[in-house]
A and B are shown apart, each in its own frame.
Chain A
Amino acid sequence: MATTTAPGPVRPAGRPAENGAPKQPKRRGPRRSYLPYLLLVPAIVLELGIHVIPMLVGVWMSLLELTQFHIRDWSTAPFAGLENYRVTFDFSSATGKDLLHSFWVTVLYTVASVGLSWVFGMAAAVFLQRPFRGRALLRTLFLTPYALPVYTAVITWTFMFQRDTGLVNQVIEQFGLVSGDRPFWLIGDNSFVALLVVSLWRSWPFAFLCLMAGMQNIPGELYEAAAIDGAGFWRRLRDVTMPMLRPVNQVLLLVLFLWTFNDFNTPYVLFGGSAPKQADLISIHIYESSFVTWNFGLGSAMSVALLLFLLVVTTVYLLVTNRRREHA
């Protein structure tokens, strides 16, 4: 994270110009100045007020018996110690069982969505590397789902998944893929598939955007050299493209993982608030545990547990990938 070479804005026809050399500290030595701190004050105040302090308050809340009786004036909420955490991790009780189920649904959802998004994005980026007629149009089209406000996209999918008036069942029937009754997509076992499709539609364009940006920085000479050595399509992909994309992939997969794991918007809009058990993602689960039953203490404990899990996964991931990068 220390140094960076930043390309300038990309010119339409060319690759980004490499002109930002790694940063050198000023030769005169940094002046001991209060100016940078002054420049950062507004950002720091906001980060503290909206991110850091609420997070600490969240940890405090998770130690309180903060039920509907104490919401109005939470200074009266009794101290509960680790009781909320005991309930959260008691996997033999109904609450713990449901939370664990929700956790595994989210893991499956994240692995499937991130994996497929990466494959789709990679396929599109590789096949759009060569110039051909209509390339710019396709690139724009592929980025459109990412630009749409999430709720408009998901409302449209909700309409498409309607049992009686939706496009999906209409197409299935026309191709004779279903015998008997039309399937339900937004309740029951199919709801997980529906959720995954919508998530994939939303997030593969982002993978495409990042991978495309990464590929623009691969010098053409590398491909020329590989071609002279007789490397075919797969060899070029494996020995030139993939190694050059390693830094992009490291960040992209992490960001996709965190976004998908914390995804609230997609299920919330798709299922209209209460998700079916088969598609009960953890964000929705915690939201309902908090606002439907007004048990904020328990909801906060679950949130903190989720945060710790994400911190551990992220730390391990960064350690492993950084070590791989050093050996590469």
Chain B
Amino acid sequence: MRETSGERWARRIVLSLLTLFTITPLYVMLSSALKPLRDVQGPFTWLPSRPTIQPFLDMWRTVPLGRYLVNSLMVASIAALISVSIAIFAAFAISRYRFRGRQLFSVTVLSTQMFPGILFLLPLFLIYVNLGNATGIELYATRLGLIITYLTFSLPFSIWMLVGYFDSIPRGLDEAAQVDGAGPMRTLFQVILPTAVPGIVAVTVYAFMTAWGEVLFASVMTDENSRTLAVGLQGYATQYNVYWNQAMAASVVVSIPVVIGFLALQRYFVAGLTAGAVK
């Protein structure tokens, strides 16, 4: 099946346009991060007048970026690890057992994905505030509260993807382990988990990205001490001046870890999505 010349030209034109659209903001982010302040205060230029890494040095002082970074790292990594651990057990149950309520659980968990975040935001805000007043367990405006919130956000999709991975592992392996006298938990840890490592890593990155990029709850549920990057990065627009070059520099630094993680694991995301989409 050969490509006709018309198809080839169509392909080149379409892919060029999509490339241009995709790459422009990425270029603006990178190039503006290397500009002195006066470059971003005048009309837009394609190149810095003289490239400088000064924005990368100044950005830590304009806003307390270091604190935001530590908060985001802590919240996102702890939330991701706990979320995936819980998802592994749930996915194992759904993939390997038939039990009453299995369908109900799956449908309920997946349907929470469609609810508007704003619907949970108000009640959670009030529950956290009142819980703090009543019991002294401070969840409002603390990292702990954010961790609990975010790990639940990534849970449904993580379970869904992991069920797909676990289903693709032949049951013969389970049975072989059982013949050797392994119980269910040993089967999970010694047979299924080692086989599903790529999938588990991909889901962990997904859960991390969810927490790393969440804006709505971060803007309501944090204060000066627990603020994350999602809210903190908007601080480069001050009353007197907008430090666009520093905002872009900070964006570059914040983007790099998740972009690398996602792109390195994109194949496993594709596999997981395909597994889930057939349901």
Contacts and interface: CB of A to CB of B under 8 A. Distances in A.
A152 B251 contact: yes
A279 B178 CA distance: 59
A55 B1 CA distance: 54
B168 A7 contact: yes
Given A4-B167, A149-B255, A258-B113, A9 B267 contact: yes
B88 to A, nearest CB: 9
A35 B24 CA distance: 53
A4 B275 contact: yes
A144 B199 contact: no
A30 B220 contact: no
Contact of A46 (B29, B155, B255): B155
A16 B155 CA distance: 25
Contacts of B247: 155, 159
Contacts of A33: 97, 99
B90 A39 contact: yes
Given A33-B97, A262-B116, A19 B123 contact: no
B270 A47 contact: no
Interface in A52-92: 52-55, 57-58, 61, 71, 73-74
Contacts of A232: 4
Contacts of B275: 4, 6-7
A159 B255 CA distance: 17
B167 A6 contact: yes
In the complex, which of the residues A23, A151, A272, A283 has the most CB atoms of chain B within 10 Å of its own CB atom? Answer: A151
Contacts of B23: 141
A47 B108 contact: yes
Contact of A227 (B1, B184, B268): B1
B140 interface: no
A213 B155 contact: no
B47 interface: no
If over half of A's interface residues share one DSSP class (helix, strand or loop), that class is named, otherwise mixed; here it is helix
B141 to A, nearest CB: 15
Contacts of B266: 139-140, 143, 209
B7 interface: yes
A7 B165 CA distance: 8
B90 A147 contact: no
Contacts of B179: none
If over half of B's interface residues share one DSSP class (helix, strand or loop), that class is named, otherwise mixed; here it is helix
A127 interface: yes
B97 A30 contact: yes
Interface in B52-93: 86-87, 89-90, 92-93
A37 B98 CA distance: 11
A40 to B, nearest CB: 5
B137 interface: no
B261 to A, nearest CB: 8
A306 B15 contact: no
Given A61-B123, A303-B122, 7 more contacts: A61-B122, A130-B11, A148-B255, A151-B213, A232-B4, A264-B215, A283-B118
22 contacts: A9-B268, A30-B97, A43-B89, A43-B90, A43-B109, A51-B112, A51-B120, A51-B152, A58-B119, A127-B10, A147-B263, A150-B213, A151-B213, A151-B230, A156-B248, A165-B41, A165-B44, A169-B44, A209-B266, A213-B270, A252-B277, A264-B215
Interface of A: 1-2, 4-10, 12, 16, 19-20, 23, 25-26, 30, 33, 35-37, 39-40, 42-44, 46-47, 49-55, 57-58, 61, 71, 73-74, 120, 123-124, 127-128, 130, 138-153, 155-157, 159-160, 164-167, 169-170, 201, 205, 209-210, 212-214, 216-217, 223-224, 227, 232-233, 247-248, 251-252, 255, 258, 261-262, 264-265, 268-269, 272, 282-283, 286-287, 290-291, 296, 299-300, 303-304, 306-307, 310-311, 314
Interface of B: 1, 3-4, 6-7, 10-11, 14-15, 18-19, 21-26, 28-29, 32, 40-44, 86-87, 89-90, 92-94, 97-99, 102-103, 105-109, 112-124, 126-127, 129-130, 148-149, 151-153, 155, 159, 164-165, 167-170, 184, 198-199, 209, 212-213, 215-216, 219-220, 229-230, 233-234, 237, 244, 247-248, 251, 254-255, 258-259, 261-263, 266-271, 273-279
